[in-house]
Amino acid sequence: MIKIILILALGLYVHAASIMLPENFQADFIQKITNPKKKVINYRGKVHFSNKKLLKWEYIEPTKKEVCTNGSELTVVDHDLEQVSNYRVHQGFDFTKIVKRAKVYKKNIFTAKYENINYTIQVDAKQRVQSIAYFDELDNKVQIVFKKVKYGKGNLSKKNITCKVPKDYDIIRG
């Protein structure tokens, strides 16, 4: 999960390999993670990207969680556990390089290899990202499908891109 967040957070305004990436992006998402033993976990929520680095994932099911990053720090607000975790992003993911390495596999499917991980990126007829799939470092298959995609110009409001941190939650620094 963290890896895909960093992928999308660090370079969203790029035009390369015919993949159109906007200044801002909002969508519903479905994230499916399948472990090597074929156990599946499905997540649903909303995602917001802005200003090339700002990213917010709002997980709605099966757990309520918010994940926000500015490219150098990551905040995870777990509403079920009533805790907030803050992390420094030491070795960020460079989505620009992934997109630059993307090669057309089929009409609307691109593949890219970056840091020994193979990514499959599917786009719609307008060359907008529809889904991203890869195997993470634990050999889990990760697939994220975007629905109700809205591409835009300019920055999203801070209200849409900032995690809401309740004062009474426990704070963990990573």
For residues 145-163, give the mean pLDDT.
Answer: 89
pLDDT band at 3; cut points 50, 70, 90: low
Protein fold of 2-93+135-173: outer membrane lipoprotein receptor (LolB), chain A (2.50.20)
Distance between CA atoms of 75 and 162, rounded to whole angstroms? 9
Contact 134, 117 (CB under 8 A): yes
Contact 94, 16 (CB under 8 A): no
State the pLDDT at residue 90: 60
State the pLDDT at residue 151: 86
User: Over the stretch 99-126, which tens digit does the pLDDT of each residue have?
Assistant: 677 899 998 999 988 878 899 999 888 8
For residues 147-166, give the mean pLDDT.
Answer: 89
Distance between CA atoms of 32 and 34, rounded to whole angstroms? 7
User: Over the stretch 68-105, which tens digit does the pLDDT of each residue have?
Assistant: 988 788 899 999 999 999 988 765 455 556 767 789 99
- CA distances to 14, 25, 64, 85, 169 from 52, rounded to whole Å, are 9, 10, 25, 23, 29
For residues 142-160, give the mean pLDDT.
Answer: 90
For residues 27-48, give the mean pLDDT.
Answer: 96
